[in-house]
Amino acid sequence: MVMEDYEIHITHRITEKEKQEFGEEHAKRYGFGSVKQWRTVMMIETNLGYKFSGSSYWDLKDFISKYFESAKRETFELSGGSLGGDFY
């Protein structure tokens, strides 16, 4: 995949400052989750359109896990599967 193809999928370029502020604000507001986890939520919400609507730390972990599971599944399907060995 060339860089131009990758950039087509990016909805909004987020600065490090925006991610950090979002992470700090949400960690304080909700009282759970690390700044890094909230930064990940921001990336998922901004680029994929999913919205976090949970109310606990476990909801946060599930939200992030579901994104990574779907991304891993899509990558596997796009690659045509594996002819042998483990898929990472």
Q: Is residue 52 part of a domain?
A: yes
pLDDT confidence of residue 88: 46
Q: Is residue 17 part of a domain?
A: yes
Judged against a pLDDT cut of 70, whether residue 35 lies above it is answered with: yes
Q: Is residue 85 part of a domain?
A: no
Judged against a pLDDT cut of 90, whether residue 22 lies above it is answered with: yes
Sequence-ordered alpha helix ranges (H) in the chain: 3-8, 16-30, 35-48, 57-79
pLDDT, tens only, 41-72:
998 898 788 899 999 999 999 999 988 887 77
- The pLDDT mean for the chain works out to 80
Model-level pTM? 0.65
Residue 53 lies in domain? 3-79
For the chain, how many structural domains are there in total?
1
